[in-house]
Structures are given as structure tokens and as C-alpha cells.
Structure 1
Amino acid sequence: MIVALLNQKGGVGKTTLALHLAGEWARQGQRVTLIDADPQGSALDWSEQRAREGLQRLFGVIGLARDTLHREAPELARDADHVVIDGPPRVAGLMRSALLAADLVLIPVQPSPFDGWASGEMLKLINEARIFRPQLAARFVLNRCDTRTIIARETAEALADRDPPVLAATIGQRVAFADTARTGRLVSDSDETSLAAHEIAALAAEVRRIAR
């Protein structure tokens, strides 16, 4: 299964979710490869920081920020149970290549009307990709979300009427996630019983159910 986290809007948490999905599946004994398709290389930086901290290597991270991704990712998938693609920002060729590589696209959005409007262009690209990959599945993921707020509920309700649908699992706005970017850690490294770790486990389980 190849899962790509994509959104043309920056700052929605693609890298954080990609790393945590890969880490959760790896913790379950799955063979996982993460492809860093973002020219900024944030996932590669995280992996190098993890090595400097002397932490266990859970999964491989490969830099592949080029528009041949759709040809190279399936080769990597032969030796893995899951391939996770940390998608690029607004780089059209890279984005289209990632879409053609994926079995499932996750579109992280934050509880804001601006994120909802920005997702329209992403949906156009998904529909273009489905001309060549009609089986391509897609879902919205509510990230950095406080479900108790009105804006979060309104965003969830707005996405409920959209195609693709929104996942039931949501990821909260938590300091634990922000800390992982600079420490090379995952939230489960610090406390696998935390709310953040439970949210990631629920997300990983729901994504696996969809991909079966």
C-alpha cells in the first residue's frame, strides 16, 4: 500500500502525520519506507536528528523529490508492507507524480475555512489523476484540531458533504507533536499511553481498513 499525504497549502502538518503513520505501522511490526518528496527535506532532517539522538531506527527514509516518483515508488513498495509519501508543496510535476504513485491520498486540513477553500485545487488534481488511476482513493484528515470548538465542528460538517469524505479519526492540537520535529522522536517514544499516541493509533487503524 502506498499512502501519500498531500496538500498544496503549506503548514497543514503533512510531515508530522507522515512520520507518525510510518512509525505506528513500524511499531506494529510492518515493513515501512517513508519517501520524502518535499524539496525542503523535513522528514530526512527528522531521521538524521533521530540517529544523532541514538534512537531506534523504526523505518527507512528516502529522499525522492523528483517527478519520476510514480515510477520509483512501486519498486520500493515491493520490499515493504507500506510506503508513506510525505508530499511536496505547490510543485505541480512532483504533486502529479505523487498522485500517480499512490493507492490512497490523505489530505490534511486544519479547522479553518481557508483550508477548505484551498483544498479545491487539490481535488482537481486528484480528479485528473483518476483518469489514469481510477481506483485512487482519497480522504480528508482533520489535523491540529480541537473538536470542542465551533470552527472545528463547522469544518468537519463542511467536509462531510464533500467527496472525498473526511476520516473519523482526528488529530489534536498538541504540544507533543510540535516537539517531535526538533527531537527526532515520535509521540509514542515519550508516552505510548498519551492522547496523542492514541490519536495516531486510531488514524493508522482507520487508514489500514480503507486500504484493504
Structure 2
Amino acid sequence: MLRIITFATQKGGAGKTTLATSFAVAAAEAGETVVLFDLDFQRSAMVWREQRVLPKSASNPSPVTHPNNPIVEAYPADKVAQMAQMLRGLEKKGVTLVVLDTPGADNATVNAALAASDFAVILLAPTRIDLGAVRPTVQAVMRTEAKFGFLLNNCPPQPNNPRAEKMATGLSALGPVAPVRIVRRADYQDAYADGKGVTEWAPGSPAAQEIRQLLEWVNEQTKGSIL
């Protein structure tokens, strides 16, 4: 059955696109048929898509698409009001997972994405600024029927960082918190810049392991209640 997963936080620069693209690739590697919709006016996911196939040239006469290839499209701005219906219709085409990469804003597009979701991954770094900025996102998703959970992103590389664990404990009073912490690692940015997911860029790396753990957690949060 189709699942719709939204990466959201009404704050720019939180790392939504970097994680959404790597998540989509990891899900495709795991056998899902994935469509990633770019809902952000900056079209960062579309930029990533263009990097996945090098243009044809004298030195590259036969471009090859990466094998673990989620479909990536810009969601049409004039179809926001019909988002839930349009996304659900993809199940008839064999799609099993839709990933929504949302803008860091409080607008109709974000609200429509949250309302259409089966599960919203709310990102924030373990800082007081991010904690304050995430409140409108939590309020917005609570106005819908979507389940949600928190993901601590851009965590310091020090193991067992007390700031991250303290924030996780506080957030757990509002909703589930992913057991994996996404650590600030260059592999994420390098993978995005090369048009890859981090599980493609560095498959044996700690970053790849984090994304696979994130996928496993999202599956646990969604598949039991939907399938």
C-alpha cells in the first residue's frame, strides 16, 4: 500500500532536501517504488536530480542513470489543493512510497503536504533556536490526522552528546523521536552535490548506516498501521 512521508520543518537550512534525497534512494535500494516530489520554490531536489544523469557529451556519449533511481518531480503549484487525491492516485501506477520535500515556510503547500501525509518527519538540530522554530510545524501537523515524529539532524560528532540526548528526552513528551541521530558529516553534502544518496556515495559509512536506520524507523512507524 502507498505511504506518503513528508520531511518538514518551517525553518530554512534544516537539511530537509539532503535527507529526503538520501532517504528516497535508500528506500529504492530496499525495493520500494519511490516518487520524490520537490515542493520547495528553490527546487533543490530538482537540482539534485539533474546531477544523477550526466549530460551527453564527447567524453560521455552514453549517459547512465543511477540504478537506484527514485522518480523526482516538481509538484505543480496549481495542484496544491488536490495534493492528497493526486498522490493517492499514484498507487494505481505501482508507486509504494511518496517522499515530499517541503519548503521551510508556513504556507498552503506545507499544510497540504502535512494533511496528505501518513507520517511527517520533523527535523531539527539540537539547538534552542531550532527548538523554538519547530513549534509552528508541530502545531500544523497536529491540525491534521497525520502521524509524526522528530529527527535530530546536524548533531555534533561527539558520541553521546548530552545536548542532543536532553533535547530528545524533552521532545519525547510531544511525540516519538527517532532513535538514530543524524550527525553532521561531509558525506551527506558530498553525496547531494554529486546527485547521489549517501548510501550510494559511501555505502559502508556511518552516514549510510544512519539513513538505513532512519528508513527502518519510518517503516516501523507507518507499515504496521497502514498495511
Q: TM-score, normalised by structure 1?
A: 0.91
- What stretches of structure 1 move > 6 A for 4+ residues in a row? none
Is the alpha carbon distance of 1:39 and 1:77 closer, same or farther for their aligned partners in structure 2, counting shifts above 3 Å? farther
| CA–CA separation in structure 1 for the residues paired with 2:104 and 2:202 | 31
Q: How many residue pairs are counted as aligned between the two chains?
A: 206
| Structure-1 residue corresponding to 2:161 | 149
Q: Check whether the contact 2:8–2:102 (CA below 8 A) recurs between aligned residues.
A: yes
| Structure-1 residue corresponding to 2:84 | 70
Computed over aligned residues only, the root mean square deviation of the Cα atoms, in angstroms, reads 1.6
How many Å apart are 1:189 and its aligned residue? Answer: 1.7
Q: Check whether the contact 1:2–1:82 (CA below 8 A) recurs between aligned residues.
A: yes
Q: TM-score, normalised by structure 2?
A: 0.85
Q: Check whether the contact 2:12–2:103 (CA below 8 A) recurs between aligned residues.
A: no
- Structure number with higher relative contact order (C-alpha < 8 Å, ≥ 6 residues apart): 2
| CA–CA separation in structure 2 for the residues paired with 1:109 and 1:89 | 12
Q: Check whether the contact 2:192–2:198 (CA below 8 A) recurs between aligned residues.
A: no
Counterpart check, 1:95 vs 2:110: yes
* 1:51-94 deviation digits (Å, cap 9, x = unpaired): 12744151100110532322322122443111110112214110
How many Å apart are 1:123 and its aligned residue? Answer: 1.3
Q: Which has the larger radius of gyration?
A: 2
Counterpart check, 1:174 vs 2:185: yes
* 1:151-194 deviation digits (Å, cap 9, x = unpaired): 22222222122x22211122111000011222112222232111
The answer for unaligned runs of 5 or more in structure 1 is none
The answer for unaligned runs of 5 or more in structure 2 is 56-63
* Superposition pairs of residues 1-212 of structure 1, within 5 angstroms: 1-52=3-54, 54-57=64-67, 58-64=69-75, 66=77, 67-68=80-81, 69-78=83-92, 79-129=94-144, 133=145, 136-146=146-156, 147-161=159-173, 163-212=174-223
* 1:87-124 deviation digits (Å, cap 9, x = unpaired): 12214110111011110000011111111111111111
| CA–CA separation in structure 2 for the residues paired with 1:65 and 1:96 | 15
| CA–CA separation in structure 2 for the residues paired with 1:115 and 1:70 | 28
Is the alpha carbon distance of 1:207 and 1:25 closer, same or farther for their aligned partners in structure 2, counting shifts above 3 Å? same
How many Å apart are 1:46 and its aligned residue? Answer: 0.1
How many Å apart are 1:26 and its aligned residue? Answer: 0.4
| CA–CA separation in structure 1 for the residues paired with 2:176 and 2:189 | 27
| CA–CA separation in structure 2 for the residues paired with 1:190 and 1:127 | 36
How many Å apart are 1:137 and its aligned residue? Answer: 0.5
| CA–CA separation in structure 2 for the residues paired with 1:141 and 1:91 | 19
| CA–CA separation in structure 2 for the residues paired with 1:91 and 1:77 | 28
